[in-house]
Amino acid sequence: MANFVLVHGAWHGGWCWQRVVDRLHAQGHRAHAVTLTGVGERAHLLSSLITLETHIADVAGVIEAEELGDVVLAVHSYAGMIGTAIADRMPQRLKHLVYVDAVVPKPGESWSSTHASATREARLAAAQASPDYAFPAPDPSVFGLAADDHAWVQRRQTPHPGHTYQAPLAFDPARVASVPRTFVDCTQPRLGTIDSIRPRVRDRNFWDGAWVGGGGARVVELATGHDPMVSAPEELGRLLAACA
């Protein structure tokens, strides 16, 4: 039996991992799908006071409250910021860190740092216009979803807390790299805001060489879109189980 903690990306909630959680439970594993403050079933807590540190505390709190060790931590998209922070602050609790088509920052970068200026400006403008300083979700078609999957994600997405967007993250790359890492590159279709991350995780000099050191890093490609927990749960579940 292994311990999995699954963290969704922006606009989503723990609900998006449902198909993967079912598969992991069927194999006898413990799987906790975290919902970050202000989204999903916690959307009633949406507030301009929510920051990146709020979301880091959400995930650390699950690990602490459930007394989990040897955790396979899977972080999707925006949550790559959170996974990096958890690996920096509590590496001894992690067995493997899986970046699922996720942001992999450099020290001092924010989630927005690698985005095109037009994307950045549009999201910040939307947040400024919102009473809760949040920005709305895109159409799920950009994640490669169609038909029932598209409809499910579209009706479940919620605005994302805006103060998580430009918050810089300080961390020690060598400490994060002490945890074995996998980057899941979702290739059909590729999401544009992750394009700048793909060459990083294939660069031996990333994090001044620390990326390939420590526990080691690998890249695995999945021929699906940006929400593989929805569009390819069998393949993603199998990949996560192998990390345990």
Summarised one tens digit per residue, pLDDT across range 198-212 is 999 999 999 999 999
At 183 the three-state DSSP class reads: strand
| Each residue's pLDDT tens digit, 109-125 | 999 999 999 999 999 99
**Average pLDDT along the chain:** 98
| Residue 41 one-letter amino acid | E
Within a 10 A sphere around the Cβ of 26, how many other Cβ atoms?
Answer: 9
Domain boundaries of the chain, sorted by first residue: 3-243
Q: How far is the C-alpha of 230 from the C-alpha of 111, rounded, in Å?
A: 23
Within a 10 A sphere around the Cβ of 234, how many other Cβ atoms?
Answer: 11
Provide the token pair at 154.
Answer: 């579209």
Strand locations in 26-93 (E)? 30-34, 71-76
3.40.50.1820, 3.40.50.620, 3.30.70.270, 3.40.190.80: which CATH number matches 3-243?
A: 3.40.50.1820
| Each residue's pLDDT tens digit, 19-69 | 999 999 999 999 999 999 999 999 999 999 999 999 999 999 999 999 999
Element (H, E) at 18: helix 18-26
Yes or no: say if 79 and 8 are a contact pair by the CB < 8 Å rule: yes
Q: State the pTM of this model.
A: 0.98
Strand 3-7 and strand 134-135: pairing? unpaired
In order, the DSSP letters of 113-144 are GGS-HHHHHHHHHHHHHSTTSEEPPPPGGGGT
Give residue 17's pLDDT.
98
Provide the token pair at 156.
Answer: 């479940």
Per the DSSP assignment, residues forming a β-bridge with 100 are 76, 184
Q: How far is the C-alpha of 242 from the C-alpha of 239, rounded, in Å?
A: 5
Within a 10 A sphere around the Cβ of 131, how many other Cβ atoms?
Answer: 7
Give residue 54's pLDDT.
98
| Residue 114 one-letter amino acid | T
Which one from 48, 77, 130, 141 is the annotated catalytic residue?
77
| Each residue's pLDDT tens digit, 141-181 | 999 999 999 999 999 999 999 999 999 999 999 999 999 99
Cis before 131? omega within 30:
no
Average confidence (pLDDT) over 85-89: 98
Provide the token pair at 158.
Answer: 């919620």
Give catalytic status of residue 112 as yes or no. Answer: no
Strand 94-100 and strand 71-76: pairing? parallel
Q: What counts of helices (H) and strands (E) characterise the chain? A: 8, 8
Select from 53, 51, 48, 46 the least CA-distant residue to 133. Answer: 48
